[in-house]
Amino acid sequence: MYTKPEYIVTTKEQLRERYSAPHELVVKKQIDFLAPYGQKLISLSPFFVLATVGEKGVDVSPKGGYPGFVKTVGEKTLLIPDYAGNNRLDGLQNIIDNPQVGLTFLFRVITKFSG
């Protein structure tokens, strides 16, 4: 399959040219701390996914427990228990090389519908 050169994006400038600027409110919603609502959501989550990057590439590991198994300490710290697993230690080794991580917390929302 052939892709026309004008459709190939190789720089951030070329990418930005193809999109409108983000709305001011979208930019302002990014924060560098755990707001109270985020802390509450984390406390309700029985499951999250930890993404790390090391010299072998990206590792994504599922983590689970009873809601509240991840604790927040202040606005910048999470306490995550280390349960017995496969002992590969990919994510933990990656964090030693590169402390930047991605976390996606999931939680269940239960609603009642009257019929």
Domain boundaries, the chain: 31-106
Model confidence band, residue 111 (pLDDT cutoffs 50, 70, 90): confident
CB 78 within 8 A of CB 42: yes
Mean pLDDT of 63-72: 96
How far is 70 from 42, CA to CA, in rounded Å? 7
Where in 1-115 does DSSP place strands (E)? 47-54, 57-64, 71-73, 77-79, 102-106
Q: Is the pLDDT of residue 114 over 80?
A: no
Query: 33 vs 2, which has greater pLDDT?
Result: 33
User: Are the CB atoms for 101 and 113 separated by under 8 Å?
Assistant: no
Kindly state the average pLDDT of the residues 102-110: 90
pLDDT tops 90 at residue 58:
yes
Q: Which residue has the tokens 């919603």?
A: 29
Would you say the pTM of this structure is higher than 0.95? Answer: no
pLDDT class of 115 with cuts at 50, 70, 90:
low
Does residue 108 carry a pLDDT above 90?
no
What mean pLDDT do residues 88-109 have? 93
